[in-house]
Structure 1
Amino acid sequence: MHSFIPPKRFFPYLSWTDIQAMPNKEDVVIIQPVGSIEQHGLHLPLIVDAAIGMAVLGKALEKLDTSIPAYALPILYYGKSNEHWHFPGTMTLSAETLIATLMEVGESVYRAGFRKLVLMNSHGGQPQVMEIVARDLHIKYDEFLVFPLFTWRVPHITSELVTLKEKQVGIHAGDAETSLMLAILPEQVKMDAAVAEYPPEQPEGSLLSIEGKLPFAWATRDLSKSGVVGDPTVATKEKGDRILESVSDGWVRVIKDVYAFQKPQPE
């Protein structure tokens, strides 16, 4: 049931008396991984975002010093994926449903006595949802510290392993995600079906982009016929192994920072 998560770090394996007796619960780090079930081209399964999140978190928790109390909740597999729903198999929650679900999970964590919650999101279509939930939980419970974090935003070496074009616009089912899947679930990757596809370029000099500081709203079918936005054909397990080690190292640092974090107190 714990998947990639070390059993001793899997929150549901605790009993209610374990939680009742846990010391210094206000500093224990509770991590809610959030993924998605959505299309990832012809070569990858629907579970990519969820699988990557769990693999990274599991590897990070394996590396984390045992003196730091941190536990993973079960992953929320479904996310807000309506940008992909034109491709069969994509499952999506509305923003309202995802917000309500995470709010109620957060309130349960708070009610149990914990005061630090990480929302570890691995799907690029929902960071804003995590930010709304984190802010609303903190406003509702002043001493509740909630961290809306994106799996890929920790320090890591991925940009050193992919081309400049892939770094700039390879946002879905491309080299990095495919390489990671070759490292963690190779039997679910169909490399013979992999195709490279990049989105249409914006006019020269335009400030607008599919992601970044000045984005426009899009559905995946606006950008790609295959569902891929990037080049998975150059992916390798070796790159995936290096990416997994690097991103999980970044998450070890983040979890340590969350554990040490104290609510700011203006002078």
Structure 2
Amino acid sequence: MLHAYNPPSRYLPYLSWTEIAALPDKANTVIVLPTGATEQHGPHLPCSVDTTISAGVVGHALARLPDHVPAYAMAPITYGKSEEHLHFPGTMTLTGETLLATMNEIGESVYRAGFRKLLIVNGHGGQPQVMEISARELRLRHGDFIVVPSFTWRVPHTAGQYLSDKEKKLAMHAGHAETALMLALAPETVHMDKAVSNYPAEFPSKLLSPDGRPACAWSARDFGPSGIIGDPLPATREQGLHILDSLANSWAQAITELHELTWAPRAEPTWGRAQHQGHIQDGLA
């Protein structure tokens, strides 16, 4: 079903427009937008990893919320800015400009429906800057709109207890943590018999990169033909279930805190409103 990991009662697209219009306290209702990507994740994982993880974690978090906390998930954004993986079949990428416009227009739709709190839970490491730019633009347009751009892994979780020091230092893509979480969320899509370990060489300049990670722009093929940047081999489903549990608990708490908070409300700037209306009128002309 379309609601996937989300409780049906907390899936916004399952409500009618009249039900949405009648929701109480929409200003403090949290709308959660999972964002991901469709891009290669090595030969052992599906191209849906980033979307599956963000949507799966959000769904499990919403299932743990107490009834008195109003929060709804939107359908996830399944395509992202994935140019660093475009040399591998299966990668579907948007430009940064297209993704930014998409985020802004979805945000405007959320605001127009009467909601004032939007949480973006992004699962793809190649696009947090776009999420942050969109959140800032929406805030400048609407002074009573709280938009929080975040990352699936930003909240406290237990993945670190399973990872080697080398994995913590150099892994970036399709490694131990992502593989374990996919074994928990969608085990039928994981093929551990095809998993391989592949780490990048440490970046040669300690001044530019004290931790050894690449300090320059890179594409996935810079690190070898597999598309993996890390070591997925030690991953197990049991680890993934434990990691998922910790992430879901943390995000449930974060959603509750966002529902309860009040933060710097201010009047909407007339120049921002006029500018946005001009864009809309241009598009309708």
Separation in 2 of the partners of 1:211 and 1:120?
27
Q: How does 1:156-235 map to 2 (within 5 A)?
A: 156-203=157-204, 205-208=206-209, 215-235=215-235
**Larger Rg, first or second structure (1 or 2):** 2
Which digits, 9 at most, give the CA deviation of each residue in 1:149-184, with x for residues without a partner?
101000111111111111122111001111111111
Looking at structure 2, the residues matched to 61 and 146 of structure 1 have their Cα atoms a distance apart, in angstroms, of 18
Partner of 2:41: 40
Query: What is the letter of the counterpart of residue 52 of structure 1?
Result: I
Q: TM-score, normalized by length of structure 1?
A: 0.95
**Contact 1:195/1:233 (<8 A) preserved:** yes
**Superposed counterparts of 1:116-195, under 5 Å:** 116-195=117-196
1:3-26, Cα deviation, whole Å (9 max, x unpaired):
011100000000111111111110
% identical aligned pairs: 51
The one-letter code sitting in structure 1 at the alignment partner of 2:149 is P
* Residue 100 (structure 1) shift: 0.3
**Further displaced range: 257-266 or 226-235:** 257-266
- Mapped pair 1:91 → 2:95: no
**Alignment of structure 1 residues 14-53 onto 2, 5 Å:** 14-53=15-54
Structure 2 residue matching 1:200: 3-state secondary structure: coil
Note if contact 1:198-1:224 (Cα within 8 Å) is conserved in structure 2.
no
Counterpart of 1:58 in structure 2 is 59
Structure 1: any 5+ residue segments left out of the alignment?
none
Question: So what's the TM-score if we normalise by structure 2?
Answer: 0.90
Asked if the contact 1:208/1:216 (under 8 Å) is kept, the reply is no
- Taking a change above 3 Å as real, the CA distance of residues 265 and 7 of structure 1, as seen in their structure-2 partners, is closer
Return closer, same or farther for 1:82/1:211 CA change in 2, 3 Å cut-off: farther
Consecutive unaligned residues in structure 2, runs of 5 or more: 267-285
Question: Is the 1:210–1:216 Cα contact (8 Å) retained in structure 2?
Answer: no
Paired residue type of 1:260: E
2:32 alignment partner, SS class: strand
Q: Distance in 2 between matches of 1:26 and 1:211?
A: 44
CA contact (8 A) 2:203 2:212 kept: no
Q: Secondary structure at the match of 1:33?
A: strand
Kindly provide the CA deviation profile for residues 119-166 of structure 1, in whole angstroms up to 9, marking residues without a partner as x.
110000011000000000000111111000101000111111111111
Equivalent position of 1:248 in the other structure: 248
In 2: Cα distance, 1:108 partner to 1:211 partner = 42
Classify the secondary structure of the residue corresponding to 1:256: helix
Count of paired positions: 265
